[in-house]
Structure 1
């Protein structure tokens, strides 16, 4: 099929992938939570295949060639591989390609750039099937049926105020997307009527987007129907954010953990909050000596990612969960969190427009700081210091246009000036952090 020109029609590929995913759910994903021996055997076979594919990559070939890669030794071999760092993925992605998937057949996604410059990840078509199967299992555990209606929240200022779409791989969901960042009084009646008619089963968004929706409700700009569940994704949930979301919606709140490098990795146990079951059929997870997660893909035929360290921390629990599911779990997750910009009028707006401008530039690194509402400072480390003055002048114009209700200043600095005391160099240091927005969402007075 992959040799036919029709295969490269995205709708056809999605249809086939989703159909395969339903079958995979019925035959495997719906069975393994209750059958640990079946899960262990299937996972071991997939790990063996994954190691065999890695031999064809430039990065892993010197480490695996000539080794016994049978199912009996696969666990040991994986554990002896050196950690795969993000720098390899950013600087030498071709060294991780297997060559087993034609470029035409690849599904490509880009990382968000939250913890580093975005990179393109190549997946094979199994990404759709595995996502469909794992989503069906998660939704079933949450008491939700296929064909659900999802209210998707966004704070991306590039998005239209409202839009409809479908998510075939997410339980054949119908999605109403609303932009909670750009809402004004003139939008309230229309958006309220849409939401009331839509009657969502689920509200879904990143934690900041959900918090922003709660703020819009408190401001009287939005009136959401009570859903059956709120689902968050993308950023680490601190206690204040969990409490704010639980207080704002009279329904269960669940969270998922995932990365563009692997898709969704784990989903929160419906009976053990803060504990996440990871999909052992498609990923292997361990930790290093500092409790940083090491994740390996068992299904990606296009690119080998083994013992990859994304920078998130957690504890892996191998014993059975009190909920009765056989899958191993992650607890104590610590990773990414985002913030919003406070413009001159006190409105909270997303940072995506700033990121899009800065990612296009010839910079080694950049950082946006906000210390008072309506004022931003962009620090840039140009690859060629001789271009610093021109970059400063051009970026003032472009960033001011992207964030027109903020006074923007741009300053070229040495790369080391962007690092914090811990050695990290986050892209954003903002007033409106996730924790601060969570306090604001429940009515606390927050100074920004």
Structure 2
């Protein structure tokens, strides 16, 4: 298929065009091909998607076996028969894990010549040794086209959009940056945790430039709101229509509060360092899986057995058209649920909700508690603010929460009662002031992962 074709295109003239012209022609050709393939996929109809994906999976497995040293060794050891096909092929593929990526750092899983790579990235390493990722120009353009289609539902010429997520090491900021530029928006690439543009400067620029949108994490949107308010501005009057949130999960209670504060719509994009985008929002604000580029499974994290749509489980993916770094049955470690009902937008791609990482679950009395469920239970109590942190110490759940609108003693007691009823465990709940939270978040790359230790360090 086109994405895996190493054959150079036939020249259209005997006189080579200048290098910039050749580059533009190549980009245009790849872009047109990617757009045509995406439109063809959307025209399949849901009943034909599975067979289409399994055909591409067979091609991707053959490509990985041939070009990837990692998978060549793995298949030789596992003895996958050449004739294995369809769902049986998927079932018999061994899992690829984060440890495999760490062990293969930096180029152990690359299947394309290093000279063909146009982007290289790494994870932050905040939860262990870093993992690496790379893409070819074809991979990159194909992802760009999907992102352009998504952001074009919200932004266009005349819109200014701040991109306040890390530009360092990852692909997401550059992907969104390029997509916004392509649809005609004015991009302000402020990043985060920058000495050149600290968050206070970002807030001042938002007040001055009055953007139509902000790309950031939900917690960063809260922090920007606080800073703007402290500066004497009403963020709801600055013209922000859309907050495109990435980088962390968010409960419905927290999303509703952010939306009311900013008077803006919140939409999500979801991806990983290893894969770039995995789900992008449509005009109805629902995140659609990139099923034209990946085959997704939802599995029980403990047993690896498939789960039905609507059930929360671990997202496992197989790339279908990756050139630089094919991944087969890659265990993302992320908990998601897939909506069993089709989206009103009419896309053939299913919609997904990200619930966080399996490793982020808190274990109390031997029972796991999803952080997103806990956040919903805490922040849905009247009188709570926007911030909280939780952890387990000496076997007991501890929660610190902001209580700006009602007496803290009452709010904390109601939170403890709700947790006891919902999770069948006791919790110690105390108040935290917003200034302490702000100091902690301003030092964090991922402020949505606020912990008790972060709060203590910021006192």
TM-score relative to the length of structure 2? 0.62
User: How far apart in 1 are the matches of 2:239 and 2:258?
Assistant: 13
Indicate whether 1:205 and 2:219 are aligned: no
From 87, 91, 94, give the equivalent of 2:103. 91
Counterpart of 2:294 in structure 1 is 283
User: How far apart in 2 are the matches of 1:238 and 1:343?
Assistant: 22
User: How far apart in 2 are the matches of 1:232 and 1:104?
Assistant: 34
Distance of aligned partners of 1:77 and 1:16 in 2 relative to their CA distance in 1, 3 Å threshold: farther
- Contact kept, 8 Å, 2:165 with 2:215, in 1: the verdict is no
- Contact kept, 8 Å, 1:149 with 1:174, in 2: the verdict is yes
Counterpart of 1:192 in structure 2 is 207
Counterpart of 1:264 in structure 2 is 277
Describe the SS at the equivalent of 1:192: helix
Counterpart of 2:83 in structure 1 is 68
Describe the SS at the equivalent of 1:213: helix
Indicate whether 1:82 and 2:97 are aligned: no
- Contact kept, 8 Å, 1:156 with 1:350, in 2: the verdict is no
Task: Say which structure is richer in helix.
Answer: 2
Counterpart of 1:111 in structure 2 is 123
User: How far apart in 1 are the matches of 2:444 and 2:29?
Assistant: 37
Describe the SS at the equivalent of 1:109: strand
Counterpart of 2:142 in structure 1 is 130
Describe the SS at the equivalent of 2:269: strand
From 140, 144, 149, give the equivalent of 2:160. 149
Structure-to-structure mapping, 1:209-224, within 5 angstroms: 209-220=220-231
Indicate whether 1:297 and 2:297 are aligned: no
Structure 1 residue 250 displacement after superposition: 2.0
Structure 1 residue 86 displacement after superposition: 0.7
Structure 1 residue 213 displacement after superposition: 1.0
- Contact kept, 8 Å, 1:18 with 1:128, in 2: the verdict is no
- Contact kept, 8 Å, 2:181 with 2:187, in 1: the verdict is no
Describe the SS at the equivalent of 1:55: helix
Structure 1 residue 352 displacement after superposition: 4.3
Structure 1 residue 97 displacement after superposition: 2.8
Structure-to-structure mapping, 1:305-344, within 5 angstroms: 305-317=327-339, 320-331=342-353, 333-335=355-357
Structure 1 residue 351 displacement after superposition: 2.5
Counterpart of 1:55 in structure 2 is 65
Counterpart of 2:255 in structure 1 is 242
From 145, 154, 175, give the equivalent of 2:187. 175
User: How far apart in 1 are the matches of 2:297 and 2:176?
Assistant: 34
Distance of aligned partners of 1:318 and 1:78 in 2 relative to their CA distance in 1, 3 Å threshold: farther
Describe the SS at the equivalent of 2:155: coil
- Contact kept, 8 Å, 2:97 with 2:330, in 1: the verdict is yes
Structure 1 residue 144 displacement after superposition: 3.3
- Contact kept, 8 Å, 2:217 with 2:248, in 1: the verdict is yes
User: How far apart in 1 are the matches of 2:316 and 2:53?
Assistant: 16
User: How far apart in 1 are the matches of 2:83 and 2:457?
Assistant: 60
User: How far apart in 1 are the matches of 2:134 and 2:215?
Assistant: 26
1:163-182 alpha-carbon deviations (Å, 9 max, x no partner):
x9993344524311347873
1:126-145 alpha-carbon deviations (Å, 9 max, x no partner):
222112210122134x3434
- Contact kept, 8 Å, 2:180 with 2:186, in 1: the verdict is no
- Contact kept, 8 Å, 2:139 with 2:324, in 1: the verdict is no
- Contact kept, 8 Å, 1:296 with 1:305, in 2: the verdict is yes
Counterpart of 1:400 in structure 2 is none
More deviation in 36-45 or 237-246?
A: 36-45
User: How far apart in 2 are the matches of 1:369 and 1:260?
Assistant: 26
Structure 1 residue 212 displacement after superposition: 1.2
- Contact kept, 8 Å, 2:177 with 2:189, in 1: the verdict is no
User: How far apart in 2 are the matches of 1:147 and 1:50?
Assistant: 41
Q: Identify unmatched segments of 5+ residues in structure 2.
A: 1-5, 9-18, 169-173, 302-312, 361-370, 372-386, 390-433
From 442, 448, 457, give the equivalent of 1:349. 442
Indicate whether 1:19 and 2:28 are aligned: yes
Let me know the Cα RMSD of the aligned residues: 4.2
Structure 1 residue 254 displacement after superposition: 0.3
